[in-house]
Amino acid sequence: MPAAGTPSPPALFRRWLLRRPGRPETAPIELRSRRIYVLPTASGLSFAVAMLAMLVASINYGLSLGYGLVFALAGAGLASIVHAWRNLAGLRIRPGRSEAVFAGETATLHFIIDNPRKARRPALRLKLRGAETTFELGPLQTLAIGVACAAEHRGRLQAGRTVIETRWPLGLIRAWSVFVADVGCVVHPAPEKNAPPPPENPAEQGDSTPSPQAGDDDFAGLRPHQRADSPRHIAWKVLARGGPLMTKQFAGQQGQELSLAWTDLPPGLDAERRLSRLSAWLLEAERSGRPWSLALPGTSVPRGSGRSHLLRCLDELAYHEEPGRADGT
């Protein structure tokens, strides 16, 4: 008998069959015949038992029509094995672009799947990290498929082991393949709700110059809307004309830069709460149009402003002493 806690032989076989490679595979990932598995579903097993019972009854009673019905249905079942396998064979998979999210939000991981055949690929399903999505591919079609999954922890969220499967055409056979694509996104620390305002410890500057800032002075232009923007600054006329959601900017006198530092936070906060508060301060600094710098233990980001600077700083927060939980390892 196996020792206590030792997996059973079926569990060991299933673990070997669905084993996950240690590193992402080189793109494009092509589903060749050797990496496509085919097994009957529960409906397929029930169908096989029914065919066997019908065959035994036909033999016992000498029913010629019974033989014909059994062989016709069994032939359809066997043909479904080939169709299920062909529905996956030859597909090519490449990683798509996945946008960064905040912890606690839903991340959408994108795959680009190419059908090189002049045949439709119906009833496909992509499964990863407990989430799944269904889709189909037309002849010679390339499609970007997004799978929405929970982003619970900051850091790097990797798709990890991904399963693509089909049960087409009769639902009797499940054909599937397992792959690991280099698909993932950055999960930023969730901004603290009702965070206190950033500390007014601006670094010295030689002078102050006009810049776009959220205020009530002269109109200076539009920029993409952000969650922290005030509703009264939304460009409703642009939205009414069918344009994107934009926020008005106003020309004011730029204040001195903010110096956001790890050491400025209260000593009673743990590391995750510190990162959450810094995340909220970064969003507030970007919304106000003021330049800022960021100082963390072991790294710092010099003075800057704008969307790209914000994403750089949020990435530093996401990877700060990354706990290694967001990629599922």
Query: What confidence category does residue 15 fall into, taking pLDDT thresholds of 50, 70 and 90?
Result: low
With 50 as the cut, is the pLDDT of residue 213 above it? no
Contact 115, 148 (CB under 8 A): no
Residues 6+ apart with CB under 8 A from 157: 107, 109, 149, 151, 184, 185, 186, 187, 326, 327
Query: Of residues 198 and 214, which shows the higher confidence score?
Result: 198
Q: Over the chain, what is the mean pLDDT?
A: 83
241 three-state secondary structure: coil
Percentage with pLDDT > 90 across the chain = 57
With 70 as the cut, is the pLDDT of residue 110 above it? yes
| 219-269: pLDDT as tens digits | 556 767 665 556 666 777 777 777 787 777 655 434 567 889 998 888 888
The helices-and-strands tally (H runs, E runs) of the chain is 6, 18
* pLDDT value of residue 10: 58
| 194-211: pLDDT as tens digits | 888 887 754 444 444 444
| 60-108: pLDDT as tens digits | 988 889 999 999 999 999 999 999 999 999 999 999 999 999 999 999 9
Q: How would you write 144-179 as a 3-class SS string? A: EEEEEEECCCCEEEECCCEEEEECCCCCCEEEEEEE
pTM tops 0.75, yes or no: no
DSSP at 234: B
With 90 as the cut, is the pLDDT of residue 315 above it? yes
Domain boundaries, the chain: 23-188, 210-318
* pLDDT value of residue 267: 86
| The pairing of beta strand 101-102 with beta strand 184-188 | parallel
Q: How far apart, in whole angstroms, are the C-alpha atoms of residue 181 and residue 198?
A: 40
Most confident of the following: 104-118, 225-239, 313-327? 104-118
Q: Write the Ramachandran bin of 96: left for phi over 0, alpha for psi from -120 to 50, otherwise beta.
A: beta
E-state strands within 81-203? 92-95, 101-102, 106-114, 121-128, 131-137, 142-150, 155-158, 162-166, 173-179, 184-188
* pLDDT value of residue 202: 47
* Closest C-alpha among 178, 109, 177, 181 to residue 145: 109
Q: How far apart, in whole angstroms, are the C-alpha atoms of residue 29 and residue 135?
A: 18
Instruction: Return the exposure string of 257-293: e unless at least 16 CB atoms fall within 10 Å of the residue's CB, then b.
Output: bbbbbbeebeeeeeeeebbbbbbbbbbbbbbbbbbbb
* pLDDT value of residue 201: 59
* pLDDT value of residue 215: 46
Neighbours of 60 (CB within 10 A): 9
Residues linked to residue 108 through DSSP beta bridges, in sequence order: 148
Q: Which of 122-126, 127-131, 226-230, 291-295 has the lowest mean pLDDT?
A: 226-230
